[in-house]
Structure 1
Amino acid sequence: MFEEASEVFENMLKSSFPLTFIVFLPAVLILVSPLPAEAAHEFTVYRMQQYDLQGQPYGTRNAILNTEARTVEAEVLSRRCVLMRLVDFSFEQYQKALRQSAGAVVIILPKNMSTMPQDIVQQFMEVEPELLAMETVVPVYFALEDDELLSIYTQTQLSSSSQGSSSAAEVLLHTATANGFQMVTSGAQSKAVSDWTITSLEGKLNGVGGEDLPTIVLVAHYDSFGVAPWLSYGADSNASGVAVLLELARLFSRLYSYKRTHAGYNLLFFLSGGGKFNYQGTKRWLEDNLDHTESSLLQDNVAFVLCLDTLGNGDSLHLHVSKPPKEGSPQHTLLKELEMVTSTQSPDLRFNMVHKKINLADDMLAWEHERFGIRRLPAFTLSHLESHRNALRSSIMDMRSLQKLSRNTKLIAEALARVIYNLTEKNAPGDLQIFTEQMVQEEQLSSVVDWLTAQPRAAQLVDKDSSVVSTLEYYFSRYLKDVKQHSTKADKRDPEFVFYDQLKQTMNAYRVKPAIFDLLLAVCIAAYLGLMYFAVQVSISEDRIAHCLPLLTTLLILPALNK
């Protein structure tokens, strides 16, 4: 093949100059040019939250993207896809893109977010609620960084930075030679999801000693929340609460299986869905049990409701209450036992009660126990967070290890057991330990948290057929009796919540040249063709003169000979 090609080039070189120059020069340029780069890169993007809650819209309202990429260094961002890296992200830059009517925003996250510096993580966690509070028509996406995407960002950043050069010629030259990227999503426009079902689970352990027994209700919501549903794993909020609830169900199911330790309390366990959307699953469960049924443990003697939320870390425990418990009541007894157990078994742990009244004017309730407080049930929430406004409760950065989960589980189990079996400070020594370190299985707690955080659990992604619901129901069935599912759907006439689709899409970054490049290329091609035409004309004129020279000589000589 190479021998045949060499013969072709040899014949070309032996031919006339214009043909050689026209054909050989472009061929050489093609052969010596570097290998072309990838023309497109396909990657997965995760769209910002889009939902309505009590008629108020939140998050981005658009899902279609087809525009050229820029970074925040560019002076003009209008109708451009603005790329931002998390390490350089700031809320001011985000607002700049929105003010200039950017076509879209793509925030690039590191593939392993656990390696991010803590100050950057904390800063972004504090910004997330502000991102959601600003309703915008601009599509906002998140993408995990890879080598190709990082290269696209770097090239786009260089192109965007050059627009600020002082020389117009430099700007023109760089604009013509730089690579651009057209960002295009493959999905359609987002639309409301009709008839979405939020599923909750209920199970119980019946006490012994009569029918009218007091009931202790243990509650935790299993869903997670963050600025992007597909990136919401919720390790501390609230995989930790679910893990504690399941471990309490396992421990007390063993105690309730023996006559000597079968207590005179009913234990009702409830895993609620839609907790991050104003506790919709809990609200419907209360309505079903208090308004639409004649036989329910909630209608009988409820001692107290203990909600478990964010219990995986921290050096403190806070009992959040809407109304301080009265002395002598079961809830006051639990408060005192928690104080005693923490002081004797974990002296380094700080425990206190946080009192906050329910504000019905707020769009969102602070804690889950407020749903029960509205229905006049004695309830509180146990958490290592002192304030419900802590950014950890609604962040995609909630993926940290839970170092104090086993300790907190043991303390809660100890305090509950002392209340259930009447082993209060008056009747038993304060240093009495009902559960040993081996009885609270740390491996089981870790495995539950690992399983829960291996998948996003945003309410928009967990339907009634989800593996999350079926696996939690299996856990309940192992330890509890009368396990039931409770479904919650939004009212079609006046929906309290509305979810939207297109939360995960495929994005393509196509390598393109700017329009000025096409113009300059057309000018260069026209000049090249004009030069070649002129060279051919000159060559043809020389050949004609050479061929006509003998004829001209003959014409000049013949008249002389005739004379």
Structure 2
Amino acid sequence: MFEEASEVFDNMFKSSFPLTLTFIVFLPAVLILVSPLPAEAAHEFTVYRMQQYDLQGQNYGSRNAILNTEARTVEAEVLSRRCVMMRLADFSYEKYQKALRQSAGAVVIILPKNMSTMPQDIVQQFMELEPELLATETIVPVYFAMEDDELLSIYTQTQVSSSSQGSSSAAEVLLHSATANGFQMVTSGAQSKAVSDWAITSLEGRLAGVGGEDLPTIVVVAHYDSFGVAPWLSYGADSNGSGVAVLLELARLFSRLYSHKRTQAGYNLLFFLSGGGKFNYQGTKRWLEDNLDHTESSLLQDNVAFVLCLDTLGNGDGLHLHVSKPPKEGSPQHALLKELQMVVSEQYPDVKFSMVHKKINLADDTLAWEHERFGIRRLPAFTLSHLESHRSAARNSIMDMRPHVDLKKLSRNTKLIAEALARVIYNLTEKVSLQQEFGAQVQEEQLASLVDWLTTQPRAAQLVDKDSTVVSTLEYYLGRYLKDVKRHFVRADKRDPEFVFYDQLKQTMNAYRVKPAIFDLLLALCIAAYLGVVYLAVQVRGHSHYRVSTFTCSLVVQSE
């Protein structure tokens, strides 16, 4: 670059043009040659967009996916039309609201590589904030990115630049603004749009009891999808990977018992893995409609003893049976309640067991627990969970990752549930354990492998279509243990959709190193000043030349 500039100077001085004309013509060319290069990509990284969906006519999440604006941190005084970067360690709802109030162009929240290293109070605080972030829709694109060395360096430089704007000296601010390097954040994707004809998939399989189809049916249910503020970061380890793992282990355990006539019980067992659980249990709703309204032969239309829903069972020191209506004494559901209490008192005295009664509130936008879908259709149902309240932040968080599942407690809860179910199904009068009676026991290695597999991939409903590996693998597991494994699909009504999903949930973002806009302004002013000086120099030189020429001519005339 500078060699080219020197050549220009050499040619300039060797030329026969007047010096003034040379400066006017060639100096701008030199300035162009030595000016900074166009912006170069400093870093390319993957970003995950905040949820965007419609549920029952209500809009949620970020409604925009396009980002092309300069980066700032929240310390900057002016955030309007800027991309505000925040680290999770420094994140707060007040700072987030500050960015929105100042009409920020975008928000990027940087997450640590290893969530388990974060202090528990920060993790808990963010989990509680996630519902608030989604409570109101925003046109500002909100992204999450995983921290790496390059991104951390960009954040640090941007933070220094943003903090300097608060300097008391206007000259310092102006000088720093002109000389500092900034970063232009640009996403590569297009604007988000609604995904048409998306199918939520649910799976069912059954074990037939001895005596035919007229037997009472016990239904075991768990939704397999996960939820969090960003779909691509929603792994749902405890909610509801643990529930799925327990259901599959129960299917394996009872399939072994039902494979022998001696241990085949007088109950039909129906296992159901529902999709769209985090979206008001859409898969369960459609499954009930298909089985109760549009078919003549269904196990649900016959004698349903009870429906047991499994939700968030991978941790905690307690176990709670959530019911919409307390079971009547003498009913199968009351028998399960008593057996659960008995097994806890006899085998797991450290577990705090309780029944939590909550009526179904149809005025709420979403149902509290999955069993309420069955309760609306007058089927006796309840949910087992280690959570005492459906409002727990752990049910809908990107922080619900593999470390949140305690395999010992998951195994304990699985054994407890299997034992209580076996006592109801086989009407065991002598309170012996399942292993003592039938030689059957829960496989802890199987539970561990299931949880490990479920937490290796996000299972948000927007990401799990009918052809996904999640659905095919779950179908494979059910097919190993159960009969008549079927798929059920639910698609949103095109005229009045209950749910709408959107794309562009995962994109590539480029951080371009650029000079601030004020640098171009100052450069333009310098060029204008230079041209003004050159113009004045030409005018003065021309006037002086005229006077010298006139004086010379007068001398010549006088001499003659």
Question: Normalising by the residue count of structure 2, what TM-score does the alignment of the two structures yield?
Answer: 0.88
What's the counterpart of residue 184 of structure 1?
Answer: 186
Note the 1:163-178 alignment, pairs <5 A: 163-178=165-180
Name which of 431, 434, 445 aligns with 1:428.
431
Superposed, which structure 2 residues align to 1:460-475 within 5 Å? 460-475=462-477
Change in 2 beyond 3 A, CA 1:387/1:510:
same
Q: Does 1:406 align with 2:408?
A: no
Which residue pairs with 1:544 in the alignment? Answer: none
Letter in 1 for 2:45: F
Q: Distance in 2 between matches of 1:460 and 1:71?
A: 31
Cα distance in structure 1, aligned partners of 2:114 and 2:38:
31
CA–CA separation in structure 2 for the residues paired with 1:150 and 1:178: 18
**What amino acid is aligned across from residue 418 of structure 1 in structure 2?**
R
The aligned amino acid for 1:422 is N
Specify whether residues 521 and 207 from structure 1 end up closer, same or farther in structure 2 by C-alpha distance, changes over 3 A only. Answer: same
Paired amino acid for 1:312: G
Q: How does 1:304-453 map to 2 (within 5 A)?
A: 304-401=306-403, 402-403=405-406, 404-423=409-428, 426-429=429-432, 433-434=436-437, 439-453=441-455
Equivalent position of 1:454 in the other structure: 456
Pair 269,39 (structure 1): closer, same or farther in 2 beyond 3 Å = closer
Paired position in structure 1 for 2:74: 72
Please give the TM-score of this superposition, normalised by the length of structure 1.
0.88
| 2:213–2:268 Cα contact (<8 Å) kept | no
Q: Could you tell me how far apart the structure 1 residues matched to 2:50 and 2:68 are? A: 17
- Say whether the 8 Å CA contact 1:114–1:400 is kept in structure 2: no
* Stretch moving more, 463-472 or 161-170: 161-170
Q: Which of 342-351 and 465-474 deviates more?
A: 342-351
Contact kept? 1:369, 1:380, Cα under 8 Å? yes
What displacement does 1:532 show? Answer: 9.6
Deviation at residue 527 of structure 1 after TM alignment: 6.3
Q: Does structure 1 retain, via aligned residues, the 8 Å contact 2:202–2:487? A: yes
**Contact map agreement 1:410 1:435 (CA 8 A) in 2:** no
CA distance in 1, matches of 2:413, 2:80: 51
What SS is found at the alignment partner of 1:298?
A: coil
Deviates more, 1:63-72 or 1:469-478: 63-72
Q: How does 1:3-14 map to 2 (within 5 A)?
A: none
- Cα shift readout 1:171-217 (whole Å, capped 9, x = no counterpart): 11111111111111111111111111000000000000344211110
Is 2:233 aligned against 1:228? no
Cα distance in 2 for partners of 1:233, 1:64 equals 25
Partners of 1:141 and 1:386 in 2: CA distance? 32
Deviation, 1:456, is: 0.7
Distance across 1 between alignment mates of 2:264 and 2:323 = 29
Q: Partners of 1:399 and 1:430 in 2: how far apart?
A: 33
Contact persistence 1:190–1:500 (CA under 8 A): yes
Partner of 1:51: 53
Matched with 2:210 is 208
Q: Distance in 2 between matches of 1:104 and 1:37?
A: 21
Which letter maps to 2:492?
A
1:69 offset after TM fit, Å? 1.3
Q: Which residue of 1 aligns with 2:253?
A: 251
Question: Using a 3 Å threshold, how does the CA distance of structure 1 residues 405 and 512 change in structure 2: closer, same or farther?
Answer: same
> Does the 8 Å contact 1:108/1:144 carry over to 2?
yes
Distance 1:432 1:339, change over 3 A: farther
Which of residues 276, 279, 283 is equivalent to 1:277?
279
Cα pair 1:307 1:368 within 8 Å, conserved: yes
Cα-to-partner distance string for 1:453-510 (whole Å, 9 max, x where unaligned): 1111000110111110001000011000000000001111111111111111111111
The 5 Å alignment of 1:110-125 reads 110-125=112-127
Q: Which amino acid letter does the alignment assign opposite residue 408 of structure 1?
A: N
- Asked if the contact 1:308/1:381 (under 8 Å) is kept, the reply is yes
1:533 CA drift (Å):
10
Q: 1:266: how far off?
A: 0.5
Contact 2:324 2:382 (C-alpha < 8 Å) held by counterparts: yes
Provide the C-alpha distance between the structure 2 equivalents of 1:235 and 1:213, rounded to a whole number of angstroms. Answer: 35
Tell me the CA shift for residue 530 of structure 1.
Answer: 8.4
Decide whether aligned partners of structure 1 residues 273 and 8 sit closer, same or farther in structure 2, where only a CA change above 3 A counts. Answer: closer
Give the partner amino acid of 1:249.
Answer: A
Q: Secondary structure at the match of 1:299?
A: coil
The amino acid of 1:240's aligned partner reads: S
1:193 partner SS:
coil
Aligned to 2:446, the other structure's residue is in SS state: helix
- Aligned pair 1:93/2:98, yes or no? no
Q: Secondary structure at the match of 1:70?
A: strand
Aligned length: 551
d(CA) in 1 for partners of 2:507, 2:272: 34
**Equivalence for 2:547:** none
Taking a change above 3 Å as real, the CA distance of residues 247 and 529 of structure 1, as seen in their structure-2 partners, is same
SS in 2 for 1:107: strand
The answer to whether residue 134 in structure 2 is matched with residue 129 in structure 1 is no
What is the aligned-residue identity percentage? Answer: 85
Whole-angstrom distance in 1 between the partners of 2:478 and 2:415? 20
Closer, same or farther in 2 for the Cα pair 1:222/1:432, shift >3 Å? closer
Q: State the 1:98 CA deviation.
A: 1.0
Tell me the distance in 2 between the aligned counterparts of 1:245 and 1:273: 14
- Residue identity in the other structure for 2:462: Q
Q: 526-535 or 233-242, which moves further after superposition? A: 526-535
TM-fit CA distance, 1:39: 3.9
Q: Which runs of 4+ in 1 moved over 2 A?
A: 33-40, 426-436, 519-538
2:488 paired with 1:483: no
The answer to which of 499-508 and 286-295 deviates more is 499-508
Q: What is the identity, as a one-letter code, of the residue corresponding to 1:371?
A: R
Unmatched 5+ residue regions in structure 1? 539-554
Instruction: Report the Cα offset of residue 8 of structure 1.
Output: 9.2
Amino acid at match of 2:455: T
